[in-house]
């Protein structure tokens, strides 16, 4: 299944037919409403970059089948737009990343693009429900995306009025109470009710940390765990449509150039080590020596970083992408997953949240070369090895390696499992920075890790 579908379509399906509640008849608790207002003020005024880990627990088809769990993640970025000609509030730019699908809402438009299909984009005029006074709300986005499980959007759009909606799943909320943790004064739990259930927000230091929605009518529990993303540069996530072709809908953004699709087993690829010996996947998956001594098992996923090594004098089109910087990002991630990982579980790093686990992974940079002499190849491999801090593999067969995932692309990052099944692909395009590539790879590993829990 494509990562885009894991992050979007599954969630939509899980919510089909739930219905939306109407406003409860109770009055707001003054302290709770003040706490929500403080939270709203932060999301309405600051640049925000966060990952939302989502878990939906719903009843199985039969009691004996037990509960069904669906996990995914969304990255959300918010930035204030420039004021209008008369100084009016232009609202917030909203960027959502669902796997490799990116949506940018700004100036009354929603633009979407897929990282693995850099030649296309889709654009819609937002319905403009008016709920946010000109600001983008979850209802506005629903004219294109059926369900929005990102409470930050409605917090940022609430304006001066009370916050009544937090995404597609909790509307008509009345705030009933707030409890401050006596041991951690910066931590508070805010409670609310709506027609079909209740909601709890855990706020730490003025930012949303956890949100739990319980739908009593359907026996569904939704848990959102929020963690920060760094660096936070939401305006750099804008989609440049100048060299893209406009298509009609989200389905048209799906990459059509792959020889291999997500979920398909990759063939044996003709990759060689520096010594000229054929590579093996087991070597890539093996834990570092110090981790093996601690009893940490081998990784179940490998990250292959394909870089097309051009001839001297040929300029790359990836001006913002630095292989050396990506080497540091992925190398650190890999070390952390093995350092923090239990023997048979994915690693829990960065935030400490159970939802923020990354799958342990092996790392293999691959140079795709052509037209080089043996001496030139050796120099390239040695130089690349210094950058990556590890042996670099190589191949002269682009058609049987990088072009399987990114035909004609200059760089691509591929996540495969121990059975060589493709779990995700990040195609590096000209507009992407090294940090953005690293974030997308981390998101894929987060998805894979969540599915293993």
Q: How far apart are CA 453 and CA 446, in angstroms?
A: 11
pLDDT at 2 over 50: no
pLDDT in tens, 5-29: 333 332 332 333 333 343 444 688 9
Of 92, 437, 436, 427, give the one whose Cα is nearest residue 231. Answer: 436
150-165: average pLDDT:
85
pTM for the predicted model, two decimal places: 0.61
134-160: average pLDDT:
82
pLDDT band at residue 213, thresholds of 50, 70 and 90? very high
Q: How far apart are CA 31 and CA 12, in angstroms?
A: 34
Q: Report CA Rg, the chain.
A: 23
191-215: average pLDDT:
94
Q: Residue 192: what pLDDT?
A: 96
pLDDT at 48 over 50: yes
Q: How far apart are CA 172 and CA 180, in angstroms?
A: 24
Q: Give the H/E segment covering residue 302.
A: strand 301-308
Residues above pLDDT 70, as percent of the chain:
80
Q: Which of 70-74, 319-323, 441-445 has the lowest mean pLDDT?
A: 70-74
Q: How far apart are CA 302 and CA 265, in angstroms?
A: 13
SS3 content of the chain, % helix, strand, coil (to 5): 25, 30, 40
**Does residue 204 contact residue 353 with C-beta atoms inside 8 Å?**
no
**Does residue 114 contact residue 254 with C-beta atoms inside 8 Å?**
yes
pLDDT band at residue 31, thresholds of 50, 70 and 90? very high
Residue 337, φ and ψ in degrees, nearest 5? -65, -35
Q: Which of 249-258, 369-378, 408-417 has the lowest mean pLDDT?
A: 249-258
Residues 6+ apart with CB under 8 A from 100: 3, 4, 114, 115, 116, 424, 425, 426, 440
Of 395, 441, 409, 398, give the one whose Cα is nearest residue 317. Answer: 409
pLDDT at 353 over 70: no
Q: What is the DSSP letter of 160?
A: T
pLDDT band at residue 442, thresholds of 50, 70 and 90? confident
Q: Is the dihedral of CA 163, 166, 172, 177 positive or negative?
A: negative
Considering only residues 166 and 353, tell me which one the structure prediction assigns the higher pLDDT.
Answer: 166
pLDDT at 434 over 60: yes
Q: How far apart are CA 152 and CA 161, in angstroms?
A: 16
Q: What is the dihedral of CA 344, 348, 352, 357, to 10 degrees?
A: -110
pLDDT at 203 over 90: yes
pLDDT band at residue 194, thresholds of 50, 70 and 90? very high
Q: What is the DSSP letter of 265?
A: B
228-248: average pLDDT:
88
Domain limits, the chain: 3-235, 257-452
Of 444, 327, 341, 428, give the one whose Cα is nearest residue 383. Answer: 327
CATH no. for 3-235:
2.50.20
Q: Residue 82: what pLDDT?
A: 58
Residue with tokens 């009055």: 27
Q: Which of 214-218, 355-359, 378-382, 428-432 has the lowest mean pLDDT?
A: 355-359
Q: Residue 202: what pLDDT?
A: 97
Q: Which of 35-39, 115-119, 247-251, 314-318 has the highest mean pLDDT?
A: 35-39
First to last CA, the chain: 18
**Does residue 124 contact residue 142 with C-beta atoms inside 8 Å?**
no
Q: How far apart are CA 64 and CA 39, in angstroms?
A: 41
Q: Residue 246: what pLDDT?
A: 93
Q: Residue 324: what pLDDT?
A: 84
DSSP of 203-223, one letter per residue?
A: EETTEEEEEEEEETTTTEEEE
Residues 6+ apart with CB under 8 A from 344: 297
Alpha-carbon distances of 174 from 19, 27, 154, 340, 383, rounded to whole Å: 18, 7, 15, 41, 61
Q: Residue 293: what pLDDT?
A: 85
Considering only residues 249 and 78, tell me which one the structure prediction assigns the higher pLDDT.
Answer: 78
pLDDT in tens, 67-123: 777 777 888 999 876 554 444 445 688 999 887 789 999 888 999 998 767 788 999
The class of domain 257-452 in CATH terms is alpha beta
Query: Which structure tokens are listed for 159?
Result: 């304006």
| Count of C-beta atoms within a 10 Å radius of residue 128 | 14
pLDDT in tens, 358-371: 788 999 999 998 87
């Amino acid at each position: 299944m494509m990562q885009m579908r894991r992050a979007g379509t599954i969630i939509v399906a899980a919510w089909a037919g739930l219905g939306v509640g109407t406003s409860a008849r109770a009055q707001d608790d003054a302290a709770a409403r003040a706490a929500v207002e403080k939270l709203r003020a932060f999301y309405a005024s600051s640049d925000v970059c966060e990952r939302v880990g989502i878990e939906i627990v719903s009843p199985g088809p039969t009691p004996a089948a037990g509960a069904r769990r669906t996990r995914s993640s969304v990255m959300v970025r918010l930035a204030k737009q420039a004021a209008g000609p008369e100084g009016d509030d232009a609202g917030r730019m909203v960027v959502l990343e669902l796997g490799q699908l990116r949506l940018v809402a700004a100036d009354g438009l929603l633009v979407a693009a897929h990282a693995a299909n850099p030649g296309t984009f889709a654009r819609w005029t937002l319905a403009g429900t008016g709920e946010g006074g000109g600001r983008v709300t979850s209802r506005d986005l629903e004219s294109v995306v059926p369900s929005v499980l990102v409470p930050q959007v409605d917090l940022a759009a609430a304006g001066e009025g009370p916050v009544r909606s937090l995404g597609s799943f909790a509307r008509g909320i009345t705030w009933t109470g707030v409890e401050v943790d006596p041991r951690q004064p910066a931590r508070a739990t805010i409670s609310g009710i709506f027609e079909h259930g209740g909601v709890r927000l855990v706020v730490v230091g003025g930012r949303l940390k956890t949100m739990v929605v319980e739908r009593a009518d359907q026996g569904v529990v939704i848990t959102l765990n929020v963690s920060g993303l760094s660096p936070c540069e939401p305006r750099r996530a804008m989609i440049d449509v100048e060299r893209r072709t406009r298509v009609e809908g989200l389905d048209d953004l799906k990459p059509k150039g792959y020889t291999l699709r997500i979920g398909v087993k990759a063939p044996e690829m003709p990759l060689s080590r520096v010594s000229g010996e054929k590579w093996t996947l087991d070597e890539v998956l093996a834990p570092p020596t110090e981790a093996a001594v601690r009893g940490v098992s081998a990784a179940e996923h490998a990250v292959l970083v394909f870089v097309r090594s051009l001839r001297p004098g040929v300029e790359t089109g990836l001006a913002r992408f630095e292989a050396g910087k990506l080497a540091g990002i992925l190398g650190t991630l890999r070390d952390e997953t093995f350092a923090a990982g239990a023997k048979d579980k994915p690693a829990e790093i960065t935030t400490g949240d159970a939802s923020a686990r990354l799958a342990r992974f092996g790392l293999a940079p691959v140079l795709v070369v052509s037209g080089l002499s043996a001496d030139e190849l050796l120099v390239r491999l040695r130089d690349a090895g210094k950058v990556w801090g590890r042996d670099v593999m190589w191949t002269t067969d682009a058609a049987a390696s990088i072009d399987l995932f990114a035909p004609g692309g200059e760089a691509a990052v591929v996540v495969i499992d121990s059975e060589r099944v493709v779990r995700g692909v990040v195609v590096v395009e000209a507009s992407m920075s090294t940090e953005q590539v690293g974030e997308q790879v981390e998101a894929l590993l987060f998805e894979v890790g969540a599915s293993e829990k």
